[in-house]
Structure 1
């Protein structure tokens, strides 16, 4: 097993509460969430406490994870429309239906 995978296992979601803002903890939370299904930028920020989800996605890709991106128009919590927002998913777990 590679050192990177071992590090990910050590930083599993069980040990990385949303208060833990280390990059390792954020990657672990995000990867676990991606294994459940697609996640958009706003949800990653709000639910996983990841301020820069795109940066964590790039790090996960650099580690060998096949993460795909779709661009959507989403509405934020204040009712503002944002075009070109990211929806991330593992290539083995594509979205079945996109709701914005």
Structure 2
């Protein structure tokens, strides 16, 4: 009988997360990794992180205990169109919870 080692739970965010993967868990991990570096708005999350429903992933991360806040901004997309009341999310530094991947 052989014993299997459990996967390192801390390593989940240390792997290179493919931008083409579309599972909710991978999307949450990509979004959390970006939020740990910089604030991200809805348009950027869709375009750069390949997350079509950023608000849903934010809600899931909040339910996992992450202290994510938002404020509304006006921004311009790649085609030069102005969008008002776009959510920009940022991670408050008091959060110390790991995402489930």
SS of equivalent to 1:24? helix
What TM-score results when the alignment is normalised by the length of structure 2? Answer: 0.77
CA RMSD of aligned residues (A): 2.2
Aligned residues: 88
Instruction: Name which structure has the greater RCO, CA cutoff 8 Å, separation 6+.
Output: 2
Is 1:36 equivalent to 2:34 in the alignment?
no
Larger proportion of helix: 1
Give the drift of 1:16. 2.6
Q: 2: distance between equivalents of 1:59 and 1:9?
A: 19
> C-alpha deviations, 1:14-49, integer Å up to 9, x for none?
253011000000000000100001111111111110
Runs of 5+ unmatched residues, structure 2: 1-6, 95-101
Deviating above 4 A after TM superposition, structure 1's stretches of 4 or more consecutive aligned residues are 8-11
Runs of 5+ unmatched residues, structure 1: 1-5, 94-100
What TM-score results when the alignment is normalised by the length of structure 1? Answer: 0.78
Is 1:83 equivalent to 2:84 in the alignment?
yes
Q: Is the 8 A contact 1:13 1:29 kept in 2?
A: no
Q: 1: distance between equivalents of 2:81 and 2:38?
A: 25
